[in-house]
Amino acid sequence: MIFLFIVAVCLFLYSVFVENIFSSRLSPKDSAKIELNDLKLKVEYNRPSKRERQIFGALVPFNKVWRTGANEATTFETNKDLLVNDLLLNKGKYTIWTVPMENTWKVMFNSRQYAWGVNEKMEPMWDPNFDVIETEVPIEKLETVVEKFTIAFDNKTGDLKLTMAWDNTLIEIPLKEVASEKP
């Protein structure tokens, strides 16, 4: 009983002075998954909220690398080789980094795994030397506001896309499985 009491007191003190482990995160973890035949794709990310803030060009500056979400670095995993906007991405696990701009976004798939998205100076932990591909996609302005940053897969027309939406901005990154040659 004494041991359990000490553990409870330590958790309480940690919660009060370091991090409230009992409250929900402001940017909760989420994932997006899709399975098409034997292709399996998965994104794990954190979802910051707009909360009446100006997002792109302010909270997320234009022309600077963004961790693409909040907290931990966003990860993308594929079990098959893909064409990402016509660029080859080999099967594996990557981190996704973006550079939001006024009319387009750069999207980088990076082979390094990072424990967190930013350092103590709030600078992205991204190392460009590990970028496997970089592509640029146009933005689409939305009529409605997306309150929570959202990553999803869209295959409703048979053309698979990785989508990212927040505030009044949407980007779509075309994905296509590389056809394997059968003997």
Rounded average pLDDT per 10-residue block, the chain, 183 residues: 80 61 61 93 93 91 92 93 95 96 96 76 79 96 95 92 96 91 56
Predicted pLDDT at 174? 97
Distance CA 132, CA 128 (A): 9
Predicted pLDDT at 115? 77
Cα separation values, 9 from 6, 21, 23, 96, Å: 5, 13, 17, 39
Q: Note if the pTM is more than 0.75.
A: yes
Predicted pLDDT at 14? 67
Length of the chain: 183
CA 162 to chain centre: 11
89-97 long-range Cβ contacts below 8 angstroms, 24+ apart: 89/132, 89/133, 90/132, 94/132, 95/126, 96/43, 96/68, 97/65, 97/66, 97/67, 97/68, 97/73, 97/124, 97/126, 97/131
Which residues, other chains included, contact 67 with Cβ-Cβ below 8 Å and sequence gap of 6+? 73, 74, 97, 117, 118, 124, 125, 126
Predicted pLDDT at 27? 64
151-156 long-range Cβ contacts below 8 angstroms, 24+ apart: 151/30, 151/32, 151/43, 151/45, 151/69, 151/74, 152/32, 153/32, 153/33, 153/34, 153/41, 153/43, 155/34, 155/36
Predicted pLDDT at 15? 64
